[in-house]
Structure 1
Amino acid sequence: LLSLICCSDSKIYRIRLVLENKLAIHHSSEVQTTFIQSENLIPFSSHPHPLKSILLNEVDGYLGYCKICCQRIEGVSDDGYGCKECRFYIHKSCAVFPYELQHPSHPKHLLLLQLHSWEKCANCNSDQFDFKYKCPHCHEFYLCPECAFLPLTKKAENHDHPLTLMQKLLPFKCYGCKDEGNGMFYFCSTCSFTVHSKCTSLPLIVRLPTIQNAIHSHPLTLMLALTISLTCDACGNKTKGMFYFCAICSFVAHLDCALSPS
């Protein structure tokens, strides 16, 4: 372990060289660890070359997806870090994810951000993210960056009251889609209901091209669950929980069907 003290822009930083060629930086008033070493060059775990600060709109060809957040990189507007030799790019905003994380969903051990492409997140059960927070002691525990940094409170378009995040992995039933869950969830203390994180972000109105024009051409409005079961006009299966509805022609669609890309 090598420790250095350096000064930049009148701020004092403590830089520690950690195993596996990772750099950790601690501001004197903060304890959060990040990947960032400087504005122009950063080392990155699970990649053999340092990543350079680049203007992504100057990179030729298709940039693909950020290796951290898996969101498409738009070269016109984004800048970030990358290795042109390997065509490995990340958003600049994603470079500040802490390498070490203490999370309430797994309070016993620190979680480390590492490359685990095929492992599923303990909360959302998705393998979408290449990099996940892993417990070095509990080998089956992984947490994707999206779930690791869910907002503690949020105001959803489809609910009147603020929602609070429960940061523990618990069994629950989602008020929105009516599916059983086992993970973190949002709850409303006023209405006493629980809901998936993804169900808090459902748009109130869906317009084309989420559903093919050949199937349906009018805007769809998000509706609360009914006591009767309806049939989805997109896939033919029964609905449960919230659904999308067309007031013009009474077209009914599952949440997933309505939001499917054209």
Structure 2
Amino acid sequence: MKYDEISHFGHPKHKLKFEYTENPFKCDGCKEVGIGSRYKCSTCDYDLHMHCALPEPSITHRFYTKCSFQFLPRPPGNSPRYCNACEKDITGFVYHCNSCGFDLHPCCAKLPMVLDDGEVKLYLYRKVSAPCHRCGRKGRSWSYRSTCKKYNLHVACVKEMLAESWHWQGKNRKLETRIPSLKNTLQTHHGKSKGKVQKCCEMAGLAVQFVISAVLGDPTTLIAGVVGSLMKS
């Protein structure tokens, strides 16, 4: 459910207003990058993902059927913690299972099990035996895999791509909106004609766009204005 304006415990000074942006932002709740739908305080430049602005007190997840994840405003304990979905550090809002000790970023906890735009359909898996298109390794983190099983992308690798390309510019809190080229990374289909290689790259590039949208907290966003063509050098 979406509200035009909300009050939030993380920013009690002002109310936060819903807006849509094609510019990347850093969520002040989970400390991860976001794009698309958000709640924002324009006065204080305070931003929240939808999942961080309207968290559920507790959730369950299909990958961890014995777990009950509780929403916490900060990681429990004093030891460093990482997200079991993307393997990245937990530094802000988190869903934590006290029994198992598992942690999930709010956006990772809410990753859709299926991404489908009518042409490309991707399924979320906890572990995949096939190598990732980005890093070439197997079974690293949660992965999105195409129906044809030709394209596999680790959630962790998508976050690394963004981290490599988007960096904070001092106190201005602005992000450089350059998406990494995947042209060389994806052209590894040995023994295929040039035309087939190009088609594979185009399909894989389209798949990456949808995974990026989901990882950034807004799976309905095609973010075409930001992502552009991933095939460009």
Q: TM-score, normalised by structure 2?
A: 0.51
State the 1:149 CA deviation. 1.5
Structure 1 residue 99 and structure 2 residue 57: aligned? yes
**Does the 8 Å CA contact 1:68/1:90 hold for their aligned counterparts?**
no
The aligned residue for residue 14 of structure 2 is: 52
**Does the 8 Å CA contact 2:140/2:154 hold for their aligned counterparts?**
no
- Structure showing greater relative contact order (alpha-carbon pairs closer than 8 Å, 6 or more residues apart): 2
Give the structure with the larger strand fraction. Answer: 1
Pick aligned residue for 2:129 from 168, 172, 187: 172
The DSSP-based 3-state class of the residue aligned with 2:62 is: coil
Letter of the 1:190 counterpart: C
State the 1:146 CA deviation. 2.4
The DSSP-based 3-state class of the residue aligned with 1:123 is: coil
The DSSP-based 3-state class of the residue aligned with 1:120 is: coil
The DSSP-based 3-state class of the residue aligned with 1:134 is: strand
CA distance in 2, matches of 1:92, 1:200: 18
- Alignment CA distance shift 1:126-1:41 (3 Å): same
The aligned residue for residue 17 of structure 1 is: none
Give the structure with the larger helix fraction. Answer: 2
**Does the 8 Å CA contact 1:81/1:91 hold for their aligned counterparts?**
no
Query: What pairs with 1:154-165 in structure 2 (closer than 5 Å)?
Result: 154=115, 161-165=120-124
CA distance in 2, matches of 1:104, 1:220: 31
The DSSP-based 3-state class of the residue aligned with 1:147 is: helix
Q: Give unpaired runs (5+ residues) of structure 2.
A: 19-24, 166-175, 192-199, 202-229
State the 1:151 CA deviation. 2.3
CA-atom RMSD, angstroms? Answer: 4.9
CA distance in 1, matches of 2:15, 2:27: 16
Structure 1 residue 225 and structure 2 residue 188: aligned? yes
The aligned residue for residue 152 of structure 1 is: 113
**Does the 8 Å CA contact 1:81/1:92 hold for their aligned counterparts?**
no
CA distance in 1, matches of 2:157, 2:26: 27
Identical pairs, percent: 21
**Does the 8 Å CA contact 2:7/2:16 hold for their aligned counterparts?**
no
Q: TM-score, normalised by structure 1?
A: 0.46
State the 1:181 CA deviation. 2.4
- Alignment CA distance shift 1:109-1:178 (3 Å): same
Q: Deviations over 1:70-112 (max 9, x none)?
A: 3379xxx975369x9xx79442733112221111121112101
Letter of the 1:122 counterpart: N
CA distance in 1, matches of 2:116, 2:187: 17
- Alignment CA distance shift 1:71-1:193 (3 Å): closer
**Does the 8 Å CA contact 1:64/1:72 hold for their aligned counterparts?**
yes
Q: Deviations over 1:107-158 (max 9, x none)?
A: 112101211184101121101551211101122x1111222111222259xx
Structure 1 residue 183 and structure 2 residue 141: aligned? yes
State the 1:186 CA deviation. 1.7
The aligned residue for residue 68 of structure 2 is: 110
Q: Give unpaired runs (5+ residues) of structure 1.
A: 1-26, 28-33, 57-62, 212-218, 229-241, 244-258
